[in-house]
Structure 1
Amino acid sequence: MDDFTRADMEEALRAIASMINRTEKAQEKFAQGTWQHTMLSNNLKALHIALPMLTKALREVSL
């Protein structure tokens, strides 16, 4: 994470949190079992993995 500034990482954190929120809202519009719902579910899994990883990296930068 040496290539990114703290500000870059904080902005990425805000963007990921926003994407999670928007994706959850969009997912509600599709019936379970449709390809759109499945795609959004997969995207949410990836975003929920990325969020704590970035949070941890941001904490390590602070040390």
Structure 2
Amino acid sequence: MENYTKEELEEALRAIVSTISKCEKVQPKLKPGTSQHTLLIRRIKALRIASSLITRELESIP
């Protein structure tokens, strides 16, 4: 696995949090059961996982 600086991880986390927020704002506009809605739900879940992993990595940096 590549090593990233604390600054790179913090910037990535900001970008991910922003993207999650934007996706959540769009979600009510999509009809449940459509492929677009399903894809958006899966993207939000993946982004939350990425956010969690980055946060964990940041906490382990001295």
TM-score (norm 1): 0.89
Note the alpha carbon deviations across 1:24-62, whole angstroms, 9 max, x for none: 11111111001110000000110111111100101111x
**Aligned equivalents of 1:57, 1:50: Cα separation in 2:** 11
Percent identity, aligned pairs only, is 45
TM-score (norm 2): 0.90
Q: Give the gaps of 5 or more residues in structure 1.
A: none
**Aligned equivalents of 2:28, 2:14: Cα separation in 1:** 22
Number of residues of Structure 1 aligned to a counterpart in Structure 2: 62
**Aligned equivalents of 1:2, 1:50: Cα separation in 2:** 15
Stretches (4+) displaced over 6 A:
none
Counterparts in 2 of 1:17-56, with a 5 A limit?
17-56=17-56
Q: Give the gaps of 5 or more residues in structure 2.
A: none
